[in-house]
């Protein structure tokens, strides 16, 4: 009997991923909630394992406010935010005493994520896992993609679907998702330009798409992208990009406001709290209220530590943005508009850069280990909370910082 196959598009680095368990510097079982699918919840309640019975009775509960099978139950974390099924070596007691087949979908598939676009499967991964940062985000060669073939009987969990040809998207840019996505990913990986320059050009293109949509000419999008691509290859933007002013005080204040907003909502990750404290101390926010002194220190840290680091390793920030763009089906996905997705992409770049500048000042150096810690812990705290993402986009809009001019200032040093 012929085995049915499934084709999935995924980043090449994923084929080398495996969980490193107790060797991991963080734990995906600490710091956030764990939802249980219905099948796993019911299996736990029937499980008669003496080593697990008491913990299941006390810490596995039904989610009565969620009717879906995917989030049917939950594991209540202990007072330290830790999964009660972890042993002293941070190993899973469910896995040890009941077996792999008793792991929930959440635990089985993390950090991987599958989506379905126009009937085709795509698998991505989140850098909230340190091993994903090491394998994918630090890669000098950049992120490339491949189609893999696997047994169609193997279980997958689909986290999102997108039908670009659906009737809702008639005469809307979503119809040209593949053209816009390919253009955007190629631009983000075009190393003839600095990453800040690539982001500014992307903003110019997205503004053009908005105008085209308003004028009811969405069929012109492919031709516009082709024209912009020719201009990018010819270097036509270089002189205008050089005229963009450097306003480090604005980018510093915006990043600080967003970080403070997150702090006010609560941060359960000890690892990210260390990053945040060191960032603020490294820039000088803790020592003084004199914004001129803080700005001078911010600029010195950038020149002394971040600039030389990025001269060799700007591909790390490029990979981070490319990974997120692919994973979240940008520039559409869960964003309210193509411009909202662009705002968030610029914010991601600005926030990681802000933490790099601060922590480099605190440690008097910047190295790959610090960068892994920043990217992984920031992602874990921010990118798994869509409500917070929408809040900070709104925060920028309400403050009037959502224009292309401000986005350009936000990304350029």
Of 356, 369, 341, which Cα lies nearest the Cα of 252? Answer: 356
Tell me, what's the pLDDT at 1? 62
pTM over 0.85: yes
**Cα–Cα distance, 252 to 383 (Å, whole number):** 21
Q: Tokens for 196?
A: 């800040």
Contact predicate 280/386, CB 8 Å: no
Residues in the chain: 413
Place of tokens 């610029």: 346
Cα–Cα distance measured from residue 270 to residue 136, given in angstroms and rounded to the nearest whole number = 24
Domain boundaries defined on the chain? 30-98, 168-412
Question: Is residue 78 helix, strand or coil?
Answer: coil
How wide is the angle at C-alpha 256 spanned by C-alphas 250 and 259, nearest 5°?
Answer: 145
H/E element, 405:
helix 404-411
Read off the DSSP letter of residue 2.
P
Cβ neighbors of 302 (< 8 A, separation 6 or more) are 248, 357, 413
Q: What is the pLDDT along the chain (413 residues), one digit of tens a residue?
A: 677 899 999 999 999 999 998 889 998 888 877 889 899 999 999 998 899 999 999 999 998 877 788 889 999 999 888 899 999 888 899 999 999 999 998 899 999 999 999 999 999 999 999 999 999 999 999 999 999 999 998 888 898 999 999 888 989 999 999 999 999 999 999 999 999 999 999 999 999 999 999 999 999 999 999 999 999 999 999 998 988 888 888 888 888 888 888 888 888 889 999 999 999 999 988 766 788 889 999 999 999 999 999 999 999 999 999 999 999 999 999 999 999 999 999 999 999 999 999 999 999 999 999 999 999 999 999 988 888 899 899 988 998 889 999 999 889 88
Please tell me the predicted confidence (pLDDT) of residue 188.
98
User: 140: part of which helix (H) or strand (E)?
Assistant: none
């Amino acid at each position: 009997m012929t085995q049915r196959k499934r084709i999935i598009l995924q980043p090449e680095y994923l084929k080398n991923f495996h969980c490193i368990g107790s060797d991991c510097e963080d734990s995906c079982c600490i710091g956030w909630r764990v939802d249980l699918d219905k099948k796993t919840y019911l299996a736990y309640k029937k499980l008669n394992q003496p080593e697990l019975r008491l913990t299941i009775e006390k810490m596995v509960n039904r989610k009565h406010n969620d009717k879906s099978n995917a989030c049917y139950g939950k594991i209540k974390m202990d007072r330290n935010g830790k999964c009660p099924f972890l042993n002293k070596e941070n190993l899973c007691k469910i896995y040890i005493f009941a077996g792999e087949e008793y792991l929930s979908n959440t635990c089985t598939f993390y950090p991987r994520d599958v989506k379905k676009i126009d009937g085709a499967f795509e698998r991505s991964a989140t850098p909230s896992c340190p091993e994903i940062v090491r394998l994918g985000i630090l890669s000098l060669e950049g992120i490339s993609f491949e189609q893999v073939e696997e047994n169609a009987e193997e279980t997958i969990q689909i986290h999102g679907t997108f039908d670009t040809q659906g009737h809702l998207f008639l005469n809307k840019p979503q119809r040209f998702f593949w053209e816009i996505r390919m253009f955007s990913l190629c631009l983000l990986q075009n190393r003839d330009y600095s990453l800040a320059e690539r982001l500014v050009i992307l903003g110019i293109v997205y503004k053009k798409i908005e105008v085209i949509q308003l004028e009811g000419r969405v069929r012109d999008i492919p031709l516009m992208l082709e024209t912009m691509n020719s201009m990018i290859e010819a270097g036509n933007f270089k002189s205008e990009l050089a005229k963009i002013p450097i306003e480090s005080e604005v980018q510093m204040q915006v990043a600080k406001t967003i970080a403070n907003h997150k702090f006010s909502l609560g941060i359960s990750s000890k690892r990210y709290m260390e990053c945040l404290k060191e960032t603020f101390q490294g820039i000088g926010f803790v020592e003084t209220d004199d914004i001129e002194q803080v700005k001078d220190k911010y600029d010195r840290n950038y020149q002394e530590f971040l600039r030389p680091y990025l001269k060799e390793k700007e591909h790390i920030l490029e990979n981070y943005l490319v990974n997120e763009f692919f994973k979240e089906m940008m520039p559409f996905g869960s964003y309210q508009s193509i411009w909202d997705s662009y705002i968030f992409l610029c914010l991601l770049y600005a926030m990681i850069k802000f933490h790099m500048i601060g922590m480099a000042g605190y440690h008097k150096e910047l190295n790959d280990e610090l960068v892994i810690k920043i990217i992984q812990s920031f992602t874990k705290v921010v990118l798994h909370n869509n409500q917070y993402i929408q809040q900070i986009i709104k925060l920028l809009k309400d403050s009037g910082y959502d224009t292309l001019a401000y986005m350009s200032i936000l990304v350029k040093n």
